[in-house]
A and B are shown apart, each in its own frame.
Chain A
Amino acid sequence: IQMTQSPSSLSASVGDRVTITCRASQDITHFLAWFQQKPGRAPKPLIYAISSRQSGVPSRFSGSGFGTQFTLTISSLQPEDFATYYCQHYDGYPRTFGQGTKVEI
């Protein structure tokens, strides 16, 4: 299963609403997760099952979609949100990540 994200990068300001899209090459129903990665750090899980936030993840992060089309939305971008975001399916093996979306100032 191939995961394709868009855009590959975007520029935004603090307070902006940001939306990242992820498309799966086949129907993965609800088996979709999102990770955040900052430079030099390991990935951090944000969301699973399309829209469920991992413990401790702020409510400004939300996910939506189903099947093959998914989105991650940051409702009001904060300084600590500048990072690269990856979608990942977990509908069987091998699990695959999207190529990432870098959110820059």
Chain B
Amino acid sequence: DVQLVESGGGLIQPGGSLRLSCAVSEFNVNENFMGWVRQAPGRGLEWLSVVYPSDTGGRTYYGDFVRGRFTISRDSSKNAIFLHMDSLRADDTAVYFCAGAIRPTYERGLFDQWGQGTLVTVSS
């Protein structure tokens, strides 16, 4: 079965940096669309980022509120993706979900493989 397991969340001070990891099994991160979505406590979903398969150039896209502060990356040798977050603010506090999709599914606008999420708390 496909598994996505996030790690790296925790308590971080405002202005700090953090890197989230997503270890993926039975699903090739190099060949598929991988991304991040977050959810602040008691709030709705926020689409953050996507990285395209390497055969399409590995393009990346970001949400408006994180562009320039967050960077998505991939390590094919570990079959994992990452989200590097800089200049963290209190409103970045959220559960961060790793997600993935094969090309036909992503072209339908969907991520259909999801992790369980990791909580990031930005507070002094």
Chain A positions near chain B (C-beta within 8 angstroms): 31-33, 35, 37, 42-43, 45, 48-49, 52, 54, 84, 86, 88-90, 93-100
Interchain pairs with CB closer than 8 A, number: 62
Query: Roughly how many angstroms separate A96 CA and B64 CA in the complex, as a whole number?
Result: 10
- Minimal beta-carbon separation of A63 from chain B (angstroms): 12
Q: A42-B114, A48-B110 given as contacts; is B45 within 8 A of A97 (CB)? A: yes
A35-B45, A96-B47 given; A49·B108 CB < 8 A: yes
Instruction: List A contacts of B115 (CB < 8 A).
Output: 42
B47 lies within 8 A of A100 (CB): no
17 A–B contacts, CB within 8 A, in A order: A33-B109, A42-B117, A43-B37, A43-B97, A43-B111, A43-B114, A45-B111, A45-B112, A54-B110, A84-B44, A86-B44, A89-B109, A90-B109, A97-B45, A98-B44, A99-B44, A100-B44
A105 → chain B closest CB, angstroms:
19
Q: How far is the CA of A52 from the CA of B64 in the complex (A)?
A: 28
